[in-house]
């Protein structure tokens, strides 16, 4: 029974900005874990039929959502649903389930549960954020198939506008809710880069995820306030609280409209320093949104999505066309394409055997690519071919040693030589840079700066490796902060080394999209930041309100502080005072 008292405040992850007030629609679905059950031989064919039919029903549900998304929304949403369909069409994956039914004589529900759960756990162990979030896709599909096997799926039907509260929602659920009367979304589970969150942001549906136990605090019809900008849900708000958030909502809507209108303008500090705000993307069809917010280019094009959930590897030609499309759409603005940054067991299962005890420190990204040069050269050739207009640069992730840089440069030149010999046009002067995300690179940043054309600081891994903190582990996640004084020193060292070597330096990690961090980054000497496109209007607004002198003053104030808490408090105070008339509290 939910607590009847007023103003129960729950904190989660701010996933999609906006404020909504409305009744709760509690979506409670059957998620029963099937018990192990052996079946007699005579029932094997029936169980196989049931399994195949449940897969077909799941495909039909997602296909229907895909068609709606393709016709009404376009952009990245249909591609996300395509990825889910690709998982359900993966014969290797599905055959593993059928094999369990046939050889182990497990019933279809338990075989499905075992294989989907195993794949989810494998993905959760991958150090790359993108791949860990794909574990949620697998979990959503698991329950969709199991619901079909164990009694039928109950669709979500909203009879009136409401805030949907659930343990979790799938991307297809989110699309279908948008077709109805959803005001906002609040879930126990979910991460900032989950496909469901990406869709919610694309559809401008305010959302808070990672609330852990919100389903225990609400009942159908309870009034809720949901603040997707700050990650707050208030259950049974008092009339005073409702009035306060209605005022905030009106202010948010007016500010959001103004931010979008202003976002196409250049971002310069009040004293004239140009700060370039670029976008991070995962799919080529995000370009429409990127251009809408006036991004100064693509600072990070993650290529992992091209490789995963495929029966065969993408050809050089297929990759070339994808990269070329992005380069043409963005021309003359720059496009930085990152080579694949996931472990080999997830894209080359026929090559990679066994599980790693510590994948965060394991066989991934450039380490894997250098061991499989043919596949790596194919991607490098595609990137070079995409640079016919000269606005593409290639970025290598997870570099930890100069030996790796030397090997990459050798393969890069080999790819160029092959293209020359074959008479295929490409960008001869394509810049080659590295992600600065491992402390060993910062320690030797002066040496690395002499060997590459640019640096891009990846704060997500830099924080993780510097502080020895896995931010996906709830027991230690509170220690993870890009405002830790050691992290700030490393960033400054990397920037200084790049400046001394006269090479460009940018930042594409999560810190680059944190408005509170902008003054510090400007003071450190960064003039190029790359963030999710939804953050670009706000980032540009922040830049336009600052002067370099103000940035340097606040940086001087915090650089001698010794604790993360002191630094965050000082910066947040500066930000709230500086922008009290620009952004709502």
3-state secondary structure of 121: helix
Q: Does one domain contain both 82 and 166?
A: no
Last residue of a domain, one of 114, 149, 184: 149
Instruction: State residue 348's pLDDT score.
Output: 46
512 DSSP 8-state letter: G
State the CATH number of the domain containing residue 118: 1.10.274.10
How many domains would you assign to the chain? Answer: 3
Q: Does one domain contain both 491 and 544?
A: yes
Q: Does one domain contain both 419 and 538?
A: yes
Last residue of a domain, one of 223, 239, 255: 239
Q: Does one domain contain both 79 and 204?
A: no
Length of the chain: 585
State the CATH number of the domain containing residue 195: 3.50.30.10
Mean pLDDT of 432-448: 97
Contact call for residues 186 and 168 (beta carbons, < 8 A): no
In a domain, 107, yes or no: yes
Q: Does one domain contain both 49 and 65?
A: yes
d(CA 468, CA 462): 10
Mean pLDDT of 479-484: 89
Instruction: State residue 354's pLDDT score.
Output: 47
Q: Does one domain contain both 235 and 283?
A: no
Pairing of strands 392-396, 207-209: unpaired
In a domain, 191, yes or no: yes
pLDDT at 393 over 70: yes
Contact call for residues 1 and 235 (beta carbons, < 8 A): no
DSSP 130-192: HHHHHHHHHHHHHHHHHHHHTT-PPPP--SS-EEEEES---HHHHHHHHTTTEEEEEESS--T
Instruction: State residue 135's pLDDT score.
Output: 78
pLDDT at 326 over 90: yes
CA distance readout (Å), 511 to 176, 461, 564, 569:
33, 11, 14, 16
Q: Mean pLDDT in the chain?
A: 87
Instruction: State residue 234's pLDDT score.
Output: 96
Instruction: State residue 489's pLDDT score.
Output: 97
Question: At 582, is the pLDDT very low, low, confident or very high (cuts 50, 70, 90)?
Answer: low
Mean pLDDT of 135-149: 84
- Sheet with 223-227, strands from edge to edge, namely 8-11, 232-235, 223-227, 19-27, 162-166, 182-187, 207-209, 13-16
d(CA 349, CA 368): 13
Contact call for residues 183 and 163 (beta carbons, < 8 A): yes
In the block, tokens 């708000």 appear at 237
Q: Is the peptide bond before 332 cis (omega within 30 degrees of 0)?
A: yes
Q: Does one domain contain both 401 and 371?
A: yes
DSSP 445-472: HHHHHTTSS-EEE-HHHHHHHHHT--TT
Question: At 330, is the pLDDT very low, low, confident or very high (cuts 50, 70, 90)?
Answer: very high
Phi, psi (rounded to 5 degrees) for 514: -100, 110
Tens digits of residue pLDDT in 257-295: 777 788 888 999 999 999 999 999 887 878 888 998 899
User: Phi-psi bin for 523: left (phi > 0), alpha (psi -120 to 50), beta?
Assistant: alpha
pLDDT at 128 over 90: no
Phi, psi (rounded to 5 degrees) for 276: -90, 125
Question: At 356, is the pLDDT very low, low, confident or very high (cuts 50, 70, 90)?
Answer: low
In a domain, 3, yes or no: no
Question: At 352, is the pLDDT very low, low, confident or very high (cuts 50, 70, 90)?
Answer: very low
Mean pLDDT of 426-446: 97
Mean pLDDT of 210-224: 92
Residue 461, class by beta-carbon neighbours within 10 Å (0-12 exposed, 13-18 middle, 19+ buried)?
buried
In a domain, 47, yes or no: yes
Instruction: State residue 248's pLDDT score.
Output: 85
Share of the chain above pLDDT 70, in %: 89
User: Which domain range does residue 81 map to?
Assistant: 41-149
In a domain, 255, yes or no: no
CA distance readout (Å), 459 to 292, 439, 482, 517:
26, 11, 7, 12
- Pick the range with the lowest mean pLDDT from 134-143, 175-184, 509-518: 134-143
Q: Does one domain contain both 454 and 548?
A: yes
285 DSSP 8-state letter: G
Active site residues: 195, 508
Q: Does one domain contain both 286 and 379?
A: yes
Instruction: State residue 311's pLDDT score.
Output: 60
Question: At 67, is the pLDDT very low, low, confident or very high (cuts 50, 70, 90)?
Answer: confident
pLDDT at 459 over 80: yes
pTM: 0.70
Question: At 361, is the pLDDT very low, low, confident or very high (cuts 50, 70, 90)?
Answer: low
Tens digits of residue pLDDT in 370-382: 888 988 999 999 9
Mean pLDDT of 470-491: 81
pLDDT at 191 over 80: no
In a domain, 257, yes or no: no
pLDDT greater at residue 285 or residue 158: 158
Instruction: State residue 255's pLDDT score.
Output: 73
State the CATH number of the domain containing residue 434: 3.20.20.60
Q: Does one domain contain both 191 and 337?
A: no
pLDDT greater at residue 582 or residue 490: 490
Question: At 230, is the pLDDT very low, low, confident or very high (cuts 50, 70, 90)?
Answer: confident
Last residue of a domain, one of 125, 149, 173: 149
In the block, tokens 């069809």 appear at 285
Instruction: State residue 131's pLDDT score.
Output: 66
Instruction: State residue 428's pLDDT score.
Output: 96
Q: Does one domain contain both 108 and 164?
A: no
Residue from 263, 266, 283, 282 nearest 274 by CA: 266
275: CB partners within 8 A, 6+ apart: 267, 268, 269, 522, 527, 528, 529, 543
Q: Does one domain contain both 80 and 180?
A: no
3-state secondary structure of 574: helix
Instruction: State residue 253's pLDDT score.
Output: 78
In a domain, 110, yes or no: yes
Within 10 Å of residue 469's Cβ, how many Cβ atoms?
17
d(CA 456, CA 391): 16
Residue from 338, 285, 345 nearest 131 by CA: 345
Residue 89, class by beta-carbon neighbours within 10 Å (0-12 exposed, 13-18 middle, 19+ buried)?
middle
In a domain, 248, yes or no: no
């Amino acid at each position: 029974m939910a607590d009847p008292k007023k103003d129960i405040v729950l904190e989660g992850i701010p996933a999609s900005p906006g404020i909504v007030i409305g009744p709760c629609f509690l979506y409670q679905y059957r998620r029963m874990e099937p018990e192990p059950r052996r079946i007699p031989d005579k029932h094997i064919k029936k169980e196989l039929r049931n399994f195949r039919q449940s897969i077909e029903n799941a495909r039909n549900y997602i296909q229907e959502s895909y068609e709606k998304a393709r016709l009404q929304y376009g952009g990245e949403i249909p591609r996300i649903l395509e990825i889910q369909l690709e998982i359900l069409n993966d014969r290797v994956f599905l055959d593993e389930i059928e094999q369990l039914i046939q050889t182990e004589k497990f019933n279809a529900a338990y075989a499905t549960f075992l294989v989907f759960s195993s794949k989810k756990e494998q993905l959760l162990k991958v150090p790359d954020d993108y791949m860990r979030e794909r574990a949620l896709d697998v979990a959503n599909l698991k329950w969709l198939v199991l619901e079909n096997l164990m009694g039928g799926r109950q669709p979500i039907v909203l009879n009136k506008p409401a805030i949907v509260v659930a343990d979790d929602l799938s991307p297809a659920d989110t699309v279908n809710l948008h077709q109805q009367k959803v005001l906002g979304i609040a879930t126990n589970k979910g991460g900032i880069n989950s496909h469901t969150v990406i869709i919610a942001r694309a559809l401008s549906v305010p959302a808070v995820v990672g609330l852990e136990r919100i389903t225990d605090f609400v009942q159908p019809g309870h009034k809720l306030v949901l603040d997707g900008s700050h990650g707050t849900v208030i259950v049974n708000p008092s009339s005073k609280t409702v009035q306060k958030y209605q005022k905030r909502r009106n202010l948010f809507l007016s500010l959001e409209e103004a931010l979008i209108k202003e976002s196409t303008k250049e971002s310069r500090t009040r004293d004239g320093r140009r700060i370039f705000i670029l976008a991070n993307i995962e799919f080529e069809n995000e370009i429409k949104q990127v251009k809408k917010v006036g991004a100064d280019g693509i600072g990070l094009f993650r290529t992992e999505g091209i490789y995963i959930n495929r029966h065969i590897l993408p050809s050089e030609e297929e990759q070339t066309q994808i990269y070329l499309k992005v380069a043409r759409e963005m021309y003359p603005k720059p496009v930085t394409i990152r080579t694949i940054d996931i472990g080999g067991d997830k894209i080359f299962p026929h090559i990679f055997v066994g599980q790693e005890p510590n994948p965060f420190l394991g066989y991934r990204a450039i380490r894997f690519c250098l061991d499989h040069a043919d596949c790596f050269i194919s991607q490098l050739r595609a990137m070079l071919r995409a640079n016919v207009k000269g606005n593409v640069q290639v970025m290598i992730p997870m570099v930890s040693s100069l030996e790796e840089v030397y090997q990459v440069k050798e393969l890069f030149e080999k790819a160029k030589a092959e293209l020359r010999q074959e008479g295929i046009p490409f960008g001869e002067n394509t810049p080659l840079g590295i992600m600065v995300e491992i402390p060993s690179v910062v320690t030797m940043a002066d040496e690395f700066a002499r060997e590459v054309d640019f640096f891009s600081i990846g704060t997500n891994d830099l924080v993780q490796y510097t502080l020895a903190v896995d931010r996906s582990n709830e027991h230690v996640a509170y220690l993870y902060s890009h405002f830790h004084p050691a992290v700030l020193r490393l960033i400054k060292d990397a920037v200084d080394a790049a400046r001394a070597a006269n090479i460009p330096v940018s930042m594409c990690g999560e810190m680059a999209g944190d408005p509170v961090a902008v003054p510090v980054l400007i003071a450190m000497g960064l003039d190029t930041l790359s963030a999710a496109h939804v953050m670009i209007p706000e980032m540009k607004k922040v830049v336009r309100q600052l002067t370099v002198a103000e940035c340097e003053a606040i940086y001087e104030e915090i650089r001698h502080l010794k604790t993360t808490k002191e630094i965050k408090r000082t910066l947040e105070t500066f930000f709230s005072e500086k922008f009290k008339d620009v952004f709502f509290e």
